[in-house]
Amino acid sequence: MSFFTSFFKKNQVDIDKNNLPRHIAIIMDGNGRWAKKRGLPRNAGHREGSNALKNIVVFSDKIGIKYLTVYAFSTENWKRPKSEVDALMGLLLEYLKNAERELHGKNIRIRVIGDVNGLPEDIKKEIARVDKLTAKNTGLSLNIALNYGSRNEIVNAVKSLCVDVKNGRLSVKDIDEDSIAGRLYTFDMPDPDLIIRTSGEKRISNFLLWQSAYTEFWFTDVLWPDFKDNHLIEAIKEYQSRHRRFGGA
């Protein structure tokens, strides 16, 4: 009996394994509020959020999700107190350094999308190392959106097109949706089928604006550190109950 079959029999979850979202993206929100509710510093919430991510990554891979994109640090997050930014960067560095141990025996690829050039040198080195380490893995692709802002991503794509037009490599009349999409950080992956945001907020917050044109959204009041396998299953069940028309009747 496969893991998928045994899991769903054990948990009696009515879910269609043939209609899984291929690409799930998550806005991991609520770490600070989780910590505040418990009288803890915000950094404690971020660490618990990191533990929640580890669990969801492994679970997503087990049930057959192909792409998981998580919003880890936005271009706007640099406005936060330096101590909090440093703590977030430290957690990311720790996660990358421990990738071999975390992924031991797992066929997961780790990638970072965003403006990598704006990151500290030690993190850039770890990103390059982990990308090379996991490049041949064919299971879940974990995409960590780091120093990521969707508007900035689109602006950079347009600039790239302008350079090619200026240098005669591309004609203006040939610019279309595919040529723009092909210059985004997500150029080689499908658009997200489902975006999840935790903590009760109902905003997209400059995340995958281009890519989410026909994405289904699912919002939950659960704070990210409390987000578990059953919440992901609940989101997938809701996704499977919807009729995706992509602008059609």
Asked whether residue 216 is assigned to any structural domain, the reply reads yes
29: CATH: 3.40.1180.10
Q: Is the pLDDT of residue 6 over 60?
A: no
Chain CA centroid to CA 76, Å: 17
Active site residues: 29, 77
CB 11 within 8 A of CB 62: no
| Residue 181 covered by a domain | no
Query: What mean pLDDT is predicted for residues 219-227?
Result: 98
176 belongs to a structural domain = no
Given pLDDT bands bounded at 50, 70 and 90, which one contains residue 105? low
Residue 170 lies in a domain: no
List for the chain the helix, strand, coil content (%; round to 5). Answer: 50, 15, 35
Whether residue 171 is contained in a domain is answered as no
Residue in the block written with tokens 């995958």: 208
Give me the pLDDT at residue 101, please: 77
Burial of residue 213, with CB atoms counted within 10 A of its CB: 0-12 exposed, 13-18 middle, 19 or more buried: exposed
Residue 12 has pLDDT above 50, yes or no: no
The answer to whether residue 2 sits within a structural domain is no
pLDDT tens digits for range 130-154: 999 999 999 999 999 999 999 999 9
Does residue 89 lie within any of the structural domains?
A: yes
Residue 28's pLDDT band, with cuts at 50, 70 and 90, is very high
pLDDT computed for residue 243 by the predictor: 86
Mean pLDDT of the chain: 92
User: Which of the two residues, 139 and 100, has the higher pLDDT score?
Assistant: 139
pLDDT at position 246 is 76
Structural domain includes residue 219: yes
pLDDT tens-digit readout, 158-217: 999 999 999 999 999 999 999 999 999 999 999 999 999 999 999 999 999 999 999 999
- Would you state the pLDDT for residue 249? 59
Q: How many domains does the chain have?
A: 1
How far from 133 is each of 90, 97, 108, CA to CA, in Å? 20, 11, 10
Enter the pTM of the model: 0.92
Q: What is the extent of the structural domain holding 219? A: 18-149+191-236
Helices (H), 64-201: 82-97, 99-102, 121-134, 150-166, 177-181
Cβ atoms 65, 21 nearer than 8 A: yes
pLDDT at residue 248, rounded to an integer: 67
Q: Which two tokens stand for residue 165?
A: 């037009």
- What pLDDT, in 10s, does the model give residues 34-55? 999 999 999 999 999 999 999 9
